[in-house]
């Protein structure tokens, strides 16, 4: 009987042991879930600043030029950000977000770059004005002051060789003696620069005949003659200069009176500014033109 009782008790004891160990399964599952939770939390704490900046710019483009995802405390706080040491300069200060321009390109933040753009434009305008002053001084020393008209535009310094029968006779591209003298005074200043130079020929609305079929050929020949004199006589590097003719398509003055016809019979020598377009756009404003 005792032996039979022990045999009956054996399964009961085994069952009791299995029940006592069953909690280990639940405990192991809980540890697995906690481990996964900690891994997820750790991954979320690692901020990819480059992706963060892209996200901020995309949100700004969608909501307008607003400061987004900055100036907030919490996980993005400088003291709590694990990536703060990798990105010096990141702070909780409000930082304007770049906007998207009409061409779909990211435009620089207004408050961060506008002052820098104006300062750069003023520096470039001062440089071009110094070039203008040097040319004016050389012409004045030779008794030729007032023989050219200079202005600063978004392209650079425009030196207008207004004909008025000083540079070219009507329907002619031949440089007069006075024109050659003026070019010789201007050329040394241009040679000393590093800027490219565009020589642009123009003509008035009067039709031409004889050697030139149209005003296009006439204006192109006038530009070419000025270019050749600069390069062949005055030593302006050929790689820095170009010539183009605009015919009568870009007049300085409208009308067919003598003064308008003379003003449009001209060659513009343009010192092309190498500044970025965003800086050049401000040149007329800061130069007072």
Confidence of residue 51 (pLDDT cuts 50, 70, 90): low
DSSP class of residue 98 equals: P
Whether 213 and 166 share a structural domain: yes
Whole-prediction pTM: 0.59
pLDDT higher than 70, residue 266: yes
Asked whether 149 and 248 are in contact (CB, 8 A), the reply is no
Which residue among 91, 108, 125 closes a domain?
Answer: 108
Judgement on whether residues 199 and 103 belong to the same structural domain of the protein: no
The Cβ of residue 157 has, within 10 Å, a number of other Cβ atoms equal to: 27
Residues contacting 10, CB < 8 A, separation 6+: none
What mean pLDDT do residues 176-197 have?
95
CATH number at residue 216: 3.30.1330.60
Both 244 and 145 in one domain: the answer is: yes
Regarding whether 222 and 142 lie in a shared domain, the answer is yes
Residue 35 confidence (pLDDT):
84
- How are beta strands 266-272 and 241-245 bridged, if at all? unpaired
- Domain identity same for 94 and 128: no
217/58: higher pLDDT: 217
Q: Let me know whether 205 and 227 are in one domain.
A: yes
Q: What's the structural domain count of the chain?
A: 2
pLDDT, tens digit, for every residue of 139-159? 999 998 888 999 999 999 999
| Crossing angle between the packed helical segments 110-141 and 177-191, to the nearest 10 degrees | 140
Q: How far apart are the first and last CA of the chain?
A: 122
| Tokens 């033109």, located at residue | 289
In this prediction, residue 99 has a pLDDT band, given cuts at 50, 70 and 90, of low
Domain boundary among 81, 108, 135: 108
Rounded to an integer, what distance in angstroms lies between the CA atom of residue 32 and that of residue 37?
A: 9
As a whole number of angstroms, the distance between CA 51 and CA 61 comes to 15
| 157/88 same-domain check | no
Give the DSSP letter string of 54-66: HHHHHHHHHH-S-
Distance CA 17, CA 173 (A): 114
pLDDT(92) > 50:
no
User: For residue 98, what pLDDT is reported?
Assistant: 52
Last residue of some domain: 108, 138, 166? 108
Q: Which tokens go with 189?
A: 């200043």
Q: Are residues 140 and 84 in the same domain?
A: no
Query: Which contiguous run of DSSP H or E holds residue 106?
Result: strand 106-107
What residue numbers bound the domain in which 228 lies?
Answer: 113-287
Look up residue 231 and give its two tokens: 């390069």
Cα torsion angle, 219, 222, 226, 228, sign: positive
- The model's confidence at residue 170, banded by pLDDT at 50, 70 and 90, is confident
Q: Is the pLDDT of residue 164 over 90?
A: no
**Same structural domain, 134 and 191:** yes
Q: What is the mean pLDDT of residues 210-223?
A: 90
Q: Are residues 69 and 89 in the same domain?
A: yes
In angstroms, the Cα distances linking 113 to 98, 107, 120 are 10, 10, 10
CA dist 199 and 268 (Å) reads 6
| Range 229-245 average pLDDT | 96
Task: Pick 11 or 129 by higher pLDDT.
Answer: 129
Q: Are residues 160 and 26 in the same domain?
A: no
Counting residues of the chain whose pLDDT is more than 90, the rounded percentage is 38
Claim to verify: residue 118 and residue 174 sit in the same structural domain: yes
Banded model confidence at residue 101, pLDDT cuts 50, 70, 90: low
């Amino acid at each position: 009987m005792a032996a039979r009782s022990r045999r009956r008790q054996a399964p009961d004891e085994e069952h009791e042991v299995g029940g006592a160990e069953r909690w280990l399964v639940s405990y192991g599952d809980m540890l697995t879930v906690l481990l996964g939770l900690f891994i997820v939390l750790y991954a979320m704490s690692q901020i990819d600043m480059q992706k963060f900046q892209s996200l901020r710019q995309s949100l700004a483009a969608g909501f307008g030029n607003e400061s987004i995802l900055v100036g907030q405390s919490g996980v993005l706080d400088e003291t709590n950000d694990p990536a703060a040491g990798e990105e010096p300069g990141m702070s909780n200060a409000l930082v304007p977000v770049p906007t998207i321009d009409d061409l779909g390109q990211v435009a620089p933040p207004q408050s961060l770059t506008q002052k820098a753009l104006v300062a750069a434009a003023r520096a470039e305008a001062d440089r071009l004005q110094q070039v203008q002053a040097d040319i004016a001084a050389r012409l004045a020393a030779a008794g030729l002051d007032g023989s050219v008209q200079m202005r600063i535009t978004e392209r650079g310094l425009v030196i207008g060789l207004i004909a008025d029968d000083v540079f070219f006779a009507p329907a002619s591209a031949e440089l007069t003696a006075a024109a050659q003298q003026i070019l010789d005074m201007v050329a040394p200043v241009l040679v000393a620069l590093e800027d490219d130079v565009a020589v642009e020929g123009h003509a008035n609305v009067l039709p031409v005949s004889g050697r030139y079929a149209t005003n296009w050929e006439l204006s192109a020949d006038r530009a070419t003659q000025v270019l050749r004199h600069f390069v062949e006589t005055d030593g302006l590097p050929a790689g820095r200069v170009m010539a183009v003719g605009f015919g009568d398509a870009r007049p300085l003055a409208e009308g067919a009176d003598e003064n308008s016809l003379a003003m449009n019979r001209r060659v513009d020598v343009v010192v092309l500014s190498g500044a970025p377009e965003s800086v050049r756009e401000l040149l007329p404003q800061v130069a007072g033109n």
